[in-house]
Amino acid sequence: MKIIHSFENFKIEKEADNKLGFLLTNPLGDFLWFGTVGPASRFQGWFVSSEAKPYRIIENIALVDATGAEISAFSEIENNLFGVSRKSVAGRETFFLPRNCHSLVYKTDSKNKVRLTLDVKEIYESKELGRNYEIGLEKGVLIVKFNQDNEPAVYVAIKSDGACPNDQTIRSVGRGFEEKKEWILRKYDYDKERNSPPFEKWVYRAIDLNASKMVFAAAFGKEAAVNEAKEVFENSAQYKAETRRAGLKPPKSEQEAAYFLAQNSLTGLVAIRDGLGGVRAGLPWFFQFWGRDEAISLKALAGLNENLAKEILLSRLEEIRQDGRLPSFRGSLMIGADAAGWLFKRAADFIDLKIVNKEEIKKVAFYLEKTIDGLLKFYTQDDFDINGPRETWMDSNYDNDFREGARIEIQALRLNMYKLARRLTGKEKYQVLEATLAQRVREKFLKLPLLADGLEDWTVRPNIFIAYYVYPELLKAKEWEECFDGALEKLWLDWGGLATIDKNHPLFCSAHTGEFPKSYHRGDSWFWLNNLAAIALYRVNSKKYRSYIEKILGASENIILRRGALGHLAELSSAQEPRAQGCPTMAWSGAMYIEAVEEIK
């Protein structure tokens, strides 16, 4: 398959395998994810967000051949930032999402028969019974009404350039439409590959339309859906112009293109909820504003939208609990042992970058002292920061591998908080706390060439790179270099990544196991951490580690340009070979790649 990235005065054309896809977003939280081999996942399709929850609306849009079969083989896919097009034997299809509308604009290069398959549901809803679709026409707009049990009705309005008289029924339309009204059992191979049941679902093949331009709009009210479909249809050129990402410098090379696309991807994961902006951790599964992921992403976001990044940071400070922890995301009962620490790491960065003013620094100091008080009271033992099972970023469990206790990166985050508190308040007690914990970590965690992953846990994992990135003062430069050498010997993957556990460890798993967590933090290579490690290696000894750094950046570049969801950096890869696996687009993956490129290149 040919893949094309089109920019202003620059184009990249490459050949790639067929396991590709594209993912479009808008600031309302909507997204469109399609593959290039037909529907392969119950998480693909067009999703519209309401009250921070994505609702799947369209399961598939497909051109239909002369035999009545849906076309699912494509020879070319082109990404032009504001939209995506794909080419098959039947012609070219183009998709884009308007920025501030719950709408999808779809075009073909000539009038074709287009099949619409629906599956209206909340993203994780699995109920099959009680679903009802009604199809009708009103003033030239096709309307599909969906009901299930006692839930509010959802309306999908479709405005097209096909034959569509002002009738109330479809049966009189003739060649403009063909009602299908068929329930079909769709088998999802990608979900099966990911060990993510159920692997099949009944979906509603609603209608075939003869048209070259269609606008789909979804709402809980019929009038709202109809009006939006008409408005976007009549002004689609204007909406397309508004969708182009502003402020990004067009690239002139492949390396610049990957960097540009990572910026575009990160910007696209920003959404507005309850009047406040936030960064969705990843799509389609991690659509919430995860505190850890968002905080890690804020430095890169500040380079794209300084005011938004600052607004997010300052608002998240107010969400820190009395015990000093942040919920994993708003409304979640889960907590992250590192989320607040990352937030204050970014606060320190913003102070250094002069992004925050004096009053805002006072706010940071207030919440920092409050957070430290809570952590000292509830999560401190023998000077160490203690976390529970599955509270670090390695939050999966397999074979009782929980990472509870005192963990190296959590100590580094606490040390950075003490350092920042001393800097902002001048209080001697924070200097004492910092010096005491630093000495304790050196005593209990350091046994050159190893820096322990946890208290009395000498399993080699890549979390020492996080510790360096957050609090480099913990060790001397030569000590870090020796520890990095030891870690690379155990973790390095020749394609340009780091395994999440020693390759000789009994729990190491070389192939990604999807939702079955065997490989997730016990082998899989995470792109956010790989790029963070590249920064750490560069700072410690850029000349010595040059080949490692180049391979890490090259691996991310390859995924962005040629694999997975085109133009996005995926969550992770199997250890055995570079692949775009896990979540198709992740904020912290792209953000740390942006940081690495800006510092290193």
Check if the beta carbon of residue 305 is closer than 8 Å to that of residue 298. no
Q: Examine residue 198 and say whether the peptide bond preceding it is cis (omega within 30 degrees of 0).
A: yes
Res. 274: pLDDT tops 80 = no
What whole-number distance in Å separates Cα of residue 337 and Cα of residue 358?
Answer: 28
Average pLDDT, stretch 586-596? Answer: 98
Average pLDDT, stretch 29-33? Answer: 96
For the chain, give every domain's residue range.
2-243, 254-600
Check if the beta carbon of residue 200 is closer than 8 Å to that of residue 188. yes
Nearest of 317, 314, 443, 334 to residue 388 by alpha carbon: 334
Q: What is the pLDDT of residue 178?
A: 86
CATH entry 1.50.10.10 includes domain 254-600? yes
Q: What is the pLDDT of residue 442?
A: 98
pLDDT in tens, 178-212: 889 999 999 999 999 999 999 999 999 999 999 99
pLDDT in tens, 101-157: 999 999 999 888 999 999 999 999 988 888 999 999 988 899 999 999 888 999 999
Nearest of 164, 197, 185, 183 to residue 43 by alpha carbon: 197
Looking at domain 2-243, its CATH class is mainly beta
pLDDT in tens, 533-553: 999 999 999 999 999 999 999
Q: What is the pLDDT of residue 248?
A: 65
Torsion angle, alpha carbons of 193, 194, 200, 205, to 10:
-90
Q: What is the per-residue DSSP string for 174-239?
A: GGGEEEEEEEEEEE-HHHHHTT-S--EEEEEEEEEEEEEEEEEEEESSHHHHHHHHHHHHHTHHHH
Token pair of 78 as six digits:
């082109």
Under the banding of pLDDT at 50, 70 and 90, the label for residue 165 is: very low
Q: What is the pLDDT of residue 164?
A: 53
Give this prediction's pTM.
0.96
* Mean pLDDT of the residues in the chain: 94
> Nearest 5°: phi and psi at 145?
-110, 130
Res. 351: pLDDT tops 70 = yes
Q: What is the pLDDT of residue 169?
A: 44
Least confident range from 111-115, 371-375, 457-461, 549-553: namely 111-115
Q: What residues form DSSP beta bridges with 50?
A: 53
Q: What is the pLDDT of residue 20?
A: 87
Res. 163: pLDDT tops 80 = no
Q: What is the pLDDT of residue 173?
A: 42
Token pair of 559 as six digits:
């995924």
Check if the beta carbon of residue 415 is closer than 8 Å to that of residue 422. no
Average pLDDT, stretch 569-578? Answer: 98
Neighbours of 252 (CB within 10 A): 12
Q: What percent of the chain has pLDDT over 70?
A: 97
What whole-number distance in Å separates Cα of residue 164 and Cα of residue 263?
Answer: 41
Q: What is the per-residue DSSP string for 483-523?
A: HHHHHHHHHEETTTEE-SS-TTSTT--SS--TTSTTTTTTT
Q: What is the pLDDT of residue 151?
A: 86
Res. 290: pLDDT tops 80 = yes
Least confident range from 58-67, 76-85, 301-310, 378-387: namely 76-85
Under the banding of pLDDT at 50, 70 and 90, the label for residue 245 is: low
User: Which residue matches tokens 């979540």?
Assistant: 583
